[in-house]
Structure 1
Amino acid sequence: NDSKKSDSDNDSKKSKSVNDSKKSDSDNDSQKSDLDKDLQKTAAVGTHEDSTTQNVASRENDIFTEQHAEETGSNQDIVVDGLAGTEPNPTSHSDGSPVPQEAEKHGADEFAQTEGRIINMANLDIGDDMVKAKLDDLKNSSSNPVVVNLSNTPLTSDCVSSVLDLLKSKPSVEAILLGNTRLGDDEVSELVDGILKLHNEKVKASEENDGVKELQELDLSNCKFGNIGAESLAHLIKSTIDIDTLNLSSNRAITSDGWMAIGNALEDNTSLETLTLDYNDIGNEGVEYIANGLQVNKSITTVDLNSVGLKERGGECLMNMLKKNTTIIELNLEGNDISQELKEDMQKYIKLNKTMVNEKEKKGTRKNQLF
């Protein structure tokens, strides 16, 4: 009798948990539906309160300026954004002794004294052989870097092989910054194929060794690749690799076919949190594919679509996406030809998403306290 009673209690708890989950989803849908009706009424009347206009516009500016600060805030103390320029190399140590400059430094000793956090090889114009030599030296050093910055350093296929060798030998690397390295389609495809191969090897190793670190951030901004590279990246996005930050800014050779591949991949992605697509020629057609992917995506919270050639129709696609999406809380639409009224309506859905995300976090905290 005690056993039957225990089973009955367990079934009751499971049933209650399922019902609570269904109720939460139903409440979210109801809130979205109510907001949609309110917006339709507002559109019919054709008026917006002046105070709301000012508040939404102000909040938009806050969102757009805070986005990148939140993205990189945890690394501000150790990372310099390669696309914005890097700090000059110091000419002397704190004790006054001279620091060897780039042309003088060579060998694994160059990295032996690093603290294992940041390796900055940005803005180097030293040729393939020297870049490969530096990557090989880092691979053979005792350093365990977390971020490797090669931004603004021209890379070729040979250099990509060295980057992949480095990622294999240094599993500590969580971010690889390759912005403005002129990789092109073939090199991006080679890089992605190599990363996926390493991922499969690490998955197998994690089963044997109880978890292995993986790459979490990839910056391929302004790398001059087109649809071939985009289709390769779609395979990366669709995979189970735990990349949470992906920067594809300023790759204007990608057409609607490439954005369709990426949009389709977003539907299956479960790890991305920040997606940067600004300064691409996405247009209304391309953003429709992106919006379709984001509509069902459950992990992405921040999307940058600054200056991607959107007009009102593209904005309406994003509006329809936000009616279904429950996770996006930051959306940058600066530099697009979208009406202020439509932007304000989208911000209302984003505000609702923020409220729902906060409620879920509070519920999660309460559950952790109970158990």
Structure 2
Amino acid sequence: MCDRIISSILTLPVEIVYRILDHLDNFNILCSIRDVCTRINTIVDSYHRYQTLTTLDLRYKSIGPQGAQHLASVLQQSKITLTMLNLSNNQIGDQGVQCLANILQYNKTITTLNLHYNQIGPQGAEHLANVLQQNKTLTTLNLHYNQIGPQGAEHLANALQQNKILTILDLRSNEIGSQGAKHLANALEQNKTLITLDLYNNQIGSQGVKHLTNALQQNNTLTTLKLAANQIDDHGVQYLANALQQNKTIITLNIYNNRIGSRGAQHLANALQQNKTLTSLNLIFNHIGPQGAAHLANSLQQNQTLTSLNLASNQIGDQGAEHLANGLRQNKTLISLTLMSNQIDDQGAEHFINALEQNKTLITLDLEYNDISDQEKQRIKELLCINHGLTVSLEYKKDKRL
């Protein structure tokens, strides 16, 4: 189809060519229309969409390594000033990454690169590490769902020790293990710019957490640490808690879907009584139970910085709800509390009704997927007529995301 379009537009008036370009996506304009001849290049360069192109989204285009090579060639020669390049789900592999890396090392405009789900292994990570050592503009790198492993993590970590630009690194589901976490921890001791690190689903375990928390005692720039689905138990959480007592920069900690029980919750509660920077704590899908809720409730009575606490799916029950409600009576900073799917019934809901007659700072309380009767839900709605700043979620919303 592209060949037929090209043969027909070589002699058409410029305005007609513009209208044809209106019906083509950016990838076809860049990789099929450009470089046909000098005249077409001139027309494309003056085309309004091309001149203002700053975001190139090529998700699910199946371009493969060959398409990545062609794209890299075009980006090197063209005058467009891209700031965001999204190539997620394209199976470009290590070969495709190498082609892109050759031009990204010296690119001066791209700030965000998304390579999610592209069959990138350790060799591809090495190519990207070379980019990070040279590039002066890239601030966000997304490698979610690839296979860089501990060796690839080592390549990136070595680059991070020198890089002074990257602020967000997404390595979700990359099988880096505890050894990969160790490499990244070494980098964090030196790096002064990274603010967000996402290691979701990397099997780092408690040993990997130990490496990272040692680094946190020296790192003063990381603000968001995401360690969800990493087989972290109470022992691993103790390392985190100890680090939080000293670290003064982490504001968001995401440790959902791990193996954290009541003892782990106690370690975190002890840290929260001293920590003065953490504002968001996500513990979804753990096993803290009512006793763990009690520990966290005690910390809420003293902590003055935490604003968001997510305890969805933690089996806290009515007893845990009572403890948390008591904590809310004295707390004056928490604005969001999520307790979805926690086996709370009318008795637990009643504790919150009584507490929220006093507490005037909580803005959002999520009680969806519990066992609260219609009668008790009506009592909560009556409470909302008094506490106008409060929103309580009681019914399951199909589009709700944890």
Q: CA deviation at 1:90?
A: 7.1
Separation of aligned partners in 2, 1:87 and 1:309:
39
The 1:90–1:150 alpha-carbon spacing in structure 2 relative to 1, beyond 3 Å, is farther
Separation of aligned partners in 2, 1:244 and 1:260:
19
Name the residue aligned to 1:28. Answer: none
Separation of aligned partners in 2, 1:240 and 1:97:
41
Aligned amino acid, residue 109 of structure 1? A
Separation of aligned partners in 2, 1:166 and 1:350:
45
Work out the percentage of aligned pairs sharing the same amino acid.
25
Contact 1:322 1:350 in 2 (8 A): no
Aligned 1:19-168 pairs, distance under 5 A: 92=96, 96-97=100-101, 100-101=124-125, 102-103=148-149, 105=152, 106=155, 107-109=157-159, 112=162, 115-141=165-191, 144-168=193-217
Contact 1:328 1:350 in 2 (8 A): no
Aligned 1:1-371 pairs, distance under 5 A: 92=96, 96-97=100-101, 100-101=124-125, 102-103=148-149, 105=152, 106=155, 107-109=157-159, 112=162, 115-141=165-191, 144-196=193-245, 198-199=246-247, 214-252=249-287, 254-350=288-384, 352-355=386-389
SS at match of 2:249: coil
Separation of aligned partners in 2, 1:356 and 1:153:
38
Q: CA deviation at 1:87?
A: 8.1
Contact 2:317 2:344 in 1 (8 A): yes
Separation of aligned partners in 2, 1:125 and 1:178:
13
Aligned amino acid, residue 340 of structure 1? D
The 1:340–1:155 alpha-carbon spacing in structure 2 relative to 1, beyond 3 Å, is same
The 1:149–1:354 alpha-carbon spacing in structure 2 relative to 1, beyond 3 Å, is farther
Aligned amino acid, residue 121 of structure 1? L
Q: CA deviation at 1:239?
A: 1.7
Separation of aligned partners in 2, 1:290 and 1:222:
21
Name the residue aligned to 2:47. Answer: none
Contact 1:247 1:275 in 2 (8 A): yes
The 1:353–1:301 alpha-carbon spacing in structure 2 relative to 1, beyond 3 Å, is farther
Q: CA deviation at 1:94?
A: 11
Contact 2:228 2:258 in 1 (8 A): yes
Q: In angstroms, what is the RMSD of aligned CA positions? A: 3.0
Separation of aligned partners in 1, 2:250 and 2:187:
20
SS at match of 1:324: coil
Segment drifting more, 333-342 vs 155-164: 155-164
Aligned amino acid, residue 128 of structure 1? S
Q: CA deviation at 1:256?
A: 2.3
Contact 1:128 1:155 in 2 (8 A): yes
**Per-residue CA shift, 1:247-305, capped at 9, x if unaligned?**
111112x2322222211221112111111010110111111001110122100111101
Q: CA deviation at 1:95?
A: 7.6
The 1:171–1:266 alpha-carbon spacing in structure 2 relative to 1, beyond 3 Å, is same
Separation of aligned partners in 2, 1:298 and 1:273:
9
**Per-residue CA shift, 1:308-348, capped at 9, x if unaligned?**
10111111111111111101111111101112343343245
**Per-residue CA shift, 1:24-82, capped at 9, x if unaligned?**
xxxxxxxxxxxxxxxxxxxxxxxxxxxxxxxxxxxxxxxxxxxxxxxxxxxxxx9xxxx
Separation of aligned partners in 1, 2:89 and 2:307:
28
Q: TM-score, length-normalised on structure 2?
A: 0.57
Contact 1:132 1:159 in 2 (8 A): yes
Moved over 6 A (4+): 86-90
SS at match of 2:210: helix
Separation of aligned partners in 1, 2:295 and 2:312:
17
Separation of aligned partners in 1, 2:387 and 2:89:
38
Separation of aligned partners in 1, 2:91 and 2:219:
24
The 1:160–1:87 alpha-carbon spacing in structure 2 relative to 1, beyond 3 Å, is farther
Give the structure, 1 or 2, with the largest relative contact order (CA under 8 Å, sep 6 or more).
1
Give the length in aligned residue pairs: 257
More helix by share: 1
The 1:356–1:309 alpha-carbon spacing in structure 2 relative to 1, beyond 3 Å, is closer
Q: TM-score, length-normalised on structure 1?
A: 0.62
Gaps of 5+ in 1: 1-77, 79-85, 200-212, 358-371
Larger radius of gyration between Structure 1 and Structure 2: 2
Separation of aligned partners in 2, 1:240 and 1:110:
27
Aligned amino acid, residue 305 of structure 2? S
Name the residue aligned to 1:52. Answer: none
